[in-house]
Amino acid sequence: MEPHNTESRVAVVGAGAAGLCAARHILTRPASFAPPVVFEVSGNVGGTWCYEERIGTYPNGRPVLSSMYRDLRTNLPKEVMMFPDFPFDPELSSFLSHQEVQRYLERYCENFRIRPHIRFDTAVENVTPVSTTAENGESKITWEVTSLDSTGHQKTETFDAVYNVCILRHYSDPHIPNIPGIQNFKGTVLHSHSYRFAEPFSGQRVVVLGAKASGLDISIELVKAGAKVTLSHRNPPLTVPLPPGIQQASCVVAVQDDGTIRLQDGSVCQADVLIFCTGYNFSYPFLDPARLGLEIQNHVVSPLYRYMMPPAFPSLIFIGICKIICPFPNFDCQVQFALAVLDGSVAMPPQEQMEEVVRREHQRKLEAGVQHHHLLKLDQDQWEYCDTLAGSAGFPPLQPAVRSLYEEVWRQRQKTDLLGTMKDGQQLESQTL
């Protein structure tokens, strides 16, 4: 992209951690960027970290997007979770409650004076690319963003770039696998998106589908509240000790005519409650994927150059779409790289070359045995990824201590039982049966 001679106007969709990070860095570059416009559908910052006990819809008819539950704590220490230049309160314990993370984001927002640039209770309804002619005669893409505020006023504005950072949308469209006969089940069916606390399930037989972070965490909460839990999943049996009251089982394959549950190994069980801990679909209702040259399906958005930018429209930027990462440091690296692209400091390859880079990366992962729906998982690749972004855009890389502490935490967790299982907000979306 060519350097800009005037301030670029950037829209930021969402005031969660990634959106606040984008706004904070835009505000530090007044020579290149006008103050951002941050659209936030709720009345608060924090995104997925903002706990809402209500489920379903608000009185105004808008859906409750939060998937946070009451007793969630992080499974990454605050020294790893923090934005690189903004530490958590050193007096806090390493593993935080979601309330403490929410307060941290509120403090981040106030410290960098982001709040005046946020339009609360404002939903983005449509984001559309528009081809125009720049002053030098070259074609240029701008973006028409249509929003709707709480009074019902609709407004369409033009921006030079859009940061699509509504991470909350990654956790608000539950993925529920097709189970034949599910309509025969006589009890309660819910997704972890609608789970808030365990007490209502005391004394009940609960089948939890999915043994990733949320499935384990919720199962432990349930048995502590007096429920009897069957943890159903397709993975090899967990080898770490499970708390009393949790029984592992193979995955659910059907609900029979009498309402009993048939498992893959041929056995049958009864339950009062089914809880799907099976992850989330990507949901961008304000985008037209086909027009953008994107496919959004099966837990993958593709193609995205550097896991951020559609090759056909590199001024539309997806922040925080990767999985199994240190979320806040990853957001910080992605935002700074994207701003360097937008201000012309980093030159982008031609569209065809970007598409080929994405294709080769996907092919490499698939040949290594990665399943298609896991293509956005970085895990150990996240360190080289962030270093590459930093080297390209000229900002300081993540400190080596971040990686070493992250890896040590996971090594220690493999040695301990599940009574201490905890998780971070990024893993809310990573559940699979």
Long-range contacts of 86-92 (CB under 8 A, 24+ apart): 86/111
Q: Strand ranges (DSSP E) for 134-186?
A: 139-148, 154-159, 161-164
Least confident of 74-83, 162-171, 232-241, 286-295: 162-171
Q: What angle do CA 48, 54, 57 make, to 5 degrees?
A: 90
Contact of 259 with 184, CB cutoff 8 Å: yes
pLDDT at 433 over 70: no
| Domains in the chain with CATH codes | 10-172+281-401 (3.50.50.60), 182-276 (3.50.50.60)
pLDDT digits (tens, 9 = 90+) for 172-218: 678 899 999 999 999 999 999 999 999 999 999 999 999 988 999 99
pLDDT number for residue 165: 66
For the residues 406-410, what does the mean pLDDT come to?
Answer: 89
pLDDT at 417 over 50: no
| CA neighbor of 95 nearest in space, from 111, 76, 108 | 76
pLDDT number for residue 63: 83
pLDDT at 361 over 80: yes
pLDDT at 66 over 90: no
Q: CA dist 199 to 218, 233, 287, 419, Å?
A: 12, 24, 39, 18
Q: How many CB atoms lie within 10 A of CB 433?
A: 20
- Band (pLDDT 50/70/90 cuts) for residue 159 is very high
Report the C-alpha gap between 187 and 261 in whole angstroms.
11
pLDDT number for residue 62: 82
Higher pLDDT, 256 or 283: 256
pLDDT at 429 over 60: no
Mean pLDDT, the chain, integer: 90
Report the C-alpha gap between 190 and 38 in whole angstroms.
32
Report the C-alpha gap between 32 and 6 in whole angstroms.
7
Give the DSSP per-residue string, 195-223.
Answer: ---SGGGTT-EEEEE--SHHHHHHHHHHH
**Three-state SS string across 9-76, please?**
CEEEECCCHHHHHHHHHHHCCCCCECCCEEECCCCCCCHHHCCCCCCCECCCCCECCCCCCCCCECCC
Least confident of 15-29, 94-108, 265-279, 417-431: 417-431
**This prediction's pTM:** 0.91
| CA neighbor of 330 nearest in space, from 339, 315, 320, 316 | 320
